Amino acid sequence: MRNDAEEWHRYIPDWEVRKQRHYYPVLIQVGIDKLQDVSGEAFTEVVEGLDIR
């Protein structure tokens, strides 16, 4: 039986993984507390809305 820590590394996101530079503006825009509850889809929408390449 595997524990949660072992299963976590097998998580496959349902959103496209972006470069690290995309994450910081999202964090600033939505805030740390709210970011915990953001879905992958909502996160991707915010990143794409920032138009960072």
pLDDT digits (tens, 9 = 90+) for 5-16: 555 556 666 766
- Residue among 29, 8, 52, 53 at smallest CA distance from 42: 29
pLDDT of residue 3: 58
- Could you tell me where the DSSP H helices lie in 9-50? 23-30, 32-35, 40-50
Tokens of 32: 């740390």
Provide the residue type at 35 as one letter: L
16-36 confidence digits (pLDDT tens): 666 666 667 777 776 777 777
Per domain, the residue ranges of the chain are: 4-50
- So what's the pLDDT on residue 10? 66
